[in-house]
Each structure stands twice: as C-alpha cells, then as structure tokens.
C-alpha cells in the first residue's frame, strides 16, 4: 500500500486497529488528534509512562495535533484530506458533519477520497446515537448468548471481538474500494458505514443459520462444537489437551491411534449423531482413558497419525515458544531507547520494521510543512 495516505481520526480500539493494519501494509497513516490526544494514551498498563494499549494499536503512524474547535484547525484538516486516499473515523455519528466532513463536503474536498466510519450501530437508524462498547455489542448481537460454560450464564468473549471484527471488515471494505478506484478506474464508492453490531451478526453465521433454517436456538456449550464430537478439551495425566475430529470417517482412525478400539463396537458412539446424543458418556470414557498418560504422550501419537490436537496453551507459553519465533508472531519496536514487543500483522512482510506509536503531536510540524504551511502559519496553528 505504499503511496496510499490514510487520515486517521479514530480513537481507542476499532478504528486504530484498522489503521494499524493499513499502516503495517505500507500506508502512510496520519493520526489526527485533539490537543488532549487519543483517550487510549491514558489506558493502563504502562511501560516507561507509555500506555501499552495505545502503543500496540498505533505503530507505524504519524501524529498531528489539530484543534478542530477552531476554523483554522478545520481548514488544516480539510487541506490534509485533500492530499489523502482514505479517511477513517469512529466518532459519534454526526460529529464529522459538524467538522465539515459530511459526504457532500468530502466529495468537494477530494473526489477521489474513500471514507469510512466505524460505530456501534451505524450512522443512521434508531440505534445510531446510542453509545457502544464491545461488551454492549456482544450482548446485543447475541454473541454472549452462545459463549460460556455448558448450561452456564452468557459470557463475554475474552477479547474485544466486536471492535476487532469491525476493524477487519472496514479494512476489507477500504481495500475493495481502493481496488475499484485504482485498478478498475471506477468511480469511488459511497461512504463505508460499518456497525459493530452488524459485524457481530455475520460472525454468528452458523448460529443464525441453525435458527433461521432449523429453529435451533443455540446456547452456551463451553468449548464443545455444536455439530461434532470429539471436538473439545480433555484431561490427561497432567495437562488438558484439545482434540478435534472433523467428520465421522476420522472416528475409526482416532480410536485405533489412541489404542481404544473397543469404542468402535459401542452402539452409543457409532456415527456423528449417536456420539452427539451420548456426548457426556463419551467424555467420561475418553477422559478416563486419556488420564492414563501425560499430555506429551497423547500429543505425540496423535500428531504422528494426523489427528488434529493441541495442548491448551496460554499467552506466556506461546510467547516463550520457539514456534512464535518460527512464525514471526511478534515484532519489536524501539522508541527513546526502549524496546517493546507486540503481535505482528500476519499478512504483512515478515521483514517489516515497525516504528513505535508516535508521541502526541510528534509529527505536527512535519505534516503541516508537507501541506505547504510556512513557519508563521505553523506557529499559529500550534500555539
């Protein structure tokens, strides 16, 4: 994406994650902040007085401070947008209009500009002005209703899936519009309106497919799969492992691999539907069998025989694993003599050298100079 300039007027998570993805793919991302900065700059925990939350999401960007409550600040923003390819914001619906950045304004400022808004419930509709955080959207979308222990209470997914999925869909939409504009020479598509709620619905595709077509209302089932078993964690003599069989044809091979061929003659477990109907009984007999040996024993024989399986890892064991290095899972950034490590964009170049998240307004003078402001005008804007 070299040569693509993105004006980033986003804060906290959904927007900054999207613009970080674009920046890690080579875009010149200019983060426009008010004099107080992105709220995420004050989010703990901190390392050397830098928010790790902010530092992770704002790598590879430049920061310019503009006071958009002033006419001069708005004029500088419009001038910046005139040089850009993409404009992304996640402000409350209506705020961009007050900044002179409505759809009509943007067409006048830059007819080739691709714009996108991320919000909880979209730019229009009866819910559009309601505030939203990830947990609210997870609850309203139905996501929480299928997550949690078997028969237990609805539970928030353990990461901000509402924000992250909205960021991913926004990134896809922007890339599509850039392709239409540049590769196909098409007229720029309309403003991209992304709601976290709608993104959660599509992530629930299987749950909705089952209800809409078979009347099945899914509920929390822990780590189980709704349609297959064995497909969940199991205990061993020391650590829990996960086993996942994809179809009925894998069942005989699995039983043979773990040395438990007696299960093949048990009518309770012959066929996918029978095993699902007798899942609790299967868990009991499999758990008792697997507890006879430690996890390493089972993982070796199952991996050697092509059975999908894994240890139940945590972030520490993964971060300290040689596999993380092999897959280039993390990148290191250096700022002011300090190193910090963060998750790497898996589709970015492996040799990408990321830059640290910018200090507030670190590039204000540099960017204003690029826009043609002279020293006196820059001094007035930054006063």
Peptide bond into 230 cis (omega under 30): yes
94 has which bridge partners?
A: none
DSSP 311-378: E---HHHHHTSHHHHHTT-EEEEEETTEEEEEEPPTTS-TT--PPPPPPTTTTHHHHHHHTT--HHHH
Work out whether strand 241-244 and strand 309-311 pair parallel, antiparallel, or are unpaired: antiparallel
Query: Cα separation of 163 and 157, whole Å?
Result: 12
- 297 as an active site residue: the answer is no
Structure tokens at 277: 């109907």
Q: Which of 78, 225, 289, 293 is catalytic?
A: 225
Task: Specify which residues 89 forms β-bridges with.
Answer: 9, 117
> Do the Cβ atoms of 91 and 12 come closer than 8 Å?
no
Classify 73 in phi/psi space as left (phi over 0), alpha (psi -120 to 50) or beta.
alpha
42, 8 Cβ separation under 8 angstroms = no
DSSP string, 217-280: -----TT--SS-SSEEEE--SSS-EEEE--STTHHHHHHHHTT-GGGGG-GGGSSHHHHHHTHH
Q: For residue 117, give the 3-state DSSP assignment.
A: strand
- Rounded Cα distance between 56 and 226, Å, is 35
Q: Which residues of 345-379 are buried (b: 16+ CB within 10 A; e: fewer)?
A: beebeeeeebebbbebbbbbbebbeeeebeeeebe
Residues labelled catalytic: 225
């Amino acid at each position: 994406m070299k040569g693509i300039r993105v004006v980033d007027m986003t804060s906290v998570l959904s927007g900054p994650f999207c613009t970080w993805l674009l920046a890690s793919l080579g875009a010149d991302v200019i983060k426009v902040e008010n004099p107080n900065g992105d709220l995420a700059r004050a989010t703990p925990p901190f390392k050397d007085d830098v928010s790790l939350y902010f530092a992770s999401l704002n790598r590879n960007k430049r920061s310019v401070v503009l006071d958009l409550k002033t006419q001069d600040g708005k004029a500088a923003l419009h001038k910046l947008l005139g040089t850009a390819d993409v404009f992304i914001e996640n402000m409350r619906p209506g705020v961009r209009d007050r900044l002179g950045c409505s759809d009509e304004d943007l067409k006048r400022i830059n007819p080739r500009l691709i714009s996108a808004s991320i919000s909880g419930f979209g730019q229009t509709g009866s819910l559009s002005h309601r505030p939203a955080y990830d947990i609210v959207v997870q609850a309203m979308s139905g996501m929480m209703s299928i997550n949690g222990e078997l028969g237990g209470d609805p539970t928030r997914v353990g990461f901000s899936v509402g924000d992250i999925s909205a960021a991913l869909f926004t990134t896809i939409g922007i890339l599509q519009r850039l392709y239409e504009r540049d590769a196909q020479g098409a007229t720029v598509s309309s403003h991209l309106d992304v709601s976290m709620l709608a993104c959660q619905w599509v992530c629930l595709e299987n749950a909705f497919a089952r209800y809409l077509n078979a009347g099945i209302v899914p509920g929390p089932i822990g780590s189980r799969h709704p349609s297959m078993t064995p497909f969940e964690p199991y205990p061993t003599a020391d650590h829990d492992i996960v086993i996942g069989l994809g179809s009925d044809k894998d069942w005989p091979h699995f039983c043979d691999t773990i040395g438990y061929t007696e299960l093949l003659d048990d009518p309770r477990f012959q066929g996918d539907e029978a095993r699902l109907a007798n899942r609790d009984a299967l868990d009991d007999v499999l758990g008792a069998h697997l507890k006879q040996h430690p996890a390493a024993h089972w993982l070796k024989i199952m991996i050697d025989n092509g059975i999908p399986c894994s240890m139940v890892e945590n972030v520490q064991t993964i971060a300290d694993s040689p596999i993380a290095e092999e897959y280039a899972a993390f990148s290191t950034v250096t700022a002011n003599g300090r190193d910090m490590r963060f998750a790497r964009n898996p589709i970015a170049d492996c040799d990408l050298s990321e830059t640290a998240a910018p200090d507030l307004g670190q590039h204000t003078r540099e960017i204003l100079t690029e826009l043609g402001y002279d020293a006196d005008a820059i001094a007035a804007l930054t006063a």
